Amino acid sequence: MDPRNKVAIVTGGASGLGGATVRALVARGAKVAILDKAKAPGEALAKELGAAAIFVETDVTSEAQVQAAVDRAKAELGGLHIAVGCAGIGTAGRVVGKGGLFPLELFQLTVNVNLIGMFNMMRIAAGAMAENAPDAGSERGVIITTASIAAFDGQIGQVAYSASKAGVVGMTLPVARELARFGVRVVTIAPGTFDTPMLANLPQEARAALAAGIPFPSRLGQPAEFAALAVHIVENAMLNGETIRLDGALRMPPK
């Protein structure tokens, strides 16, 4: 699908991987609705991008808020053709730790945001895309979700995060198979260790250690590299039903 003159939503779009994706899509000629709970950075990014972007304060776990955001994108930008899910949280804790058992409510929160919130975006976006007229390649839309390599080699302490991201991977193929009849593709990106706000508060020594563990390139991934892959997925019609690791050949050790 050619992004030019298409309309996209990006959840978690105010910063990090989502913010870079918003910028990349706008650079390719798309109009983008930035969906995020972070109001100030979301509004600042929309202001920076001008008429090509709007900000909609959105909690991805809310059916009403995501539906309202999609409705605004359709009404103010002219439709919905691309949806990229980058909203998520990182949590950590051992199942049986020094302070006791892993809190059940923290596990539920992680799954609710990372998995159920992603599905909420997917289903509402898919419903809107199914109403589109097909383009020259018979496509009506593209949905990109974000998992993590923790879905495959989660470390000790990542039980909730890994489970939530494995669920995102598990949705990819069945949803792609179902939406094929509408001409809507579904692809997941599983990033490795990226330089995002989630890692920004780590000490420099810890950041350097994470970078050193990546075979090549031995550095943290850049959000622009995630965004470049997202744009390529939009443009490459044969990418469908797949999860793509974007990790510099990193395979995470147990801890």
Which positions are catalytic? 161
As beta bridge partners, residue 168 has none
Given a contact cutoff of 8 angstroms between Cβ atoms, the answer to whether 210 and 221 are in contact is no
Dump the DSSP string for 5-69. T-EEEEETTTSHHHHHHHHHHHHTT-EEEEEES-HHHHHHHHHHHGGGEEEEE--TT-HHHHHHH
Return d(Cα 93, Cα 126) in angstroms, integer: 34
| Environment class of 95 (CB within 10 Å of its CB; exposed 0-12, middle 13-18, buried 19+) | exposed
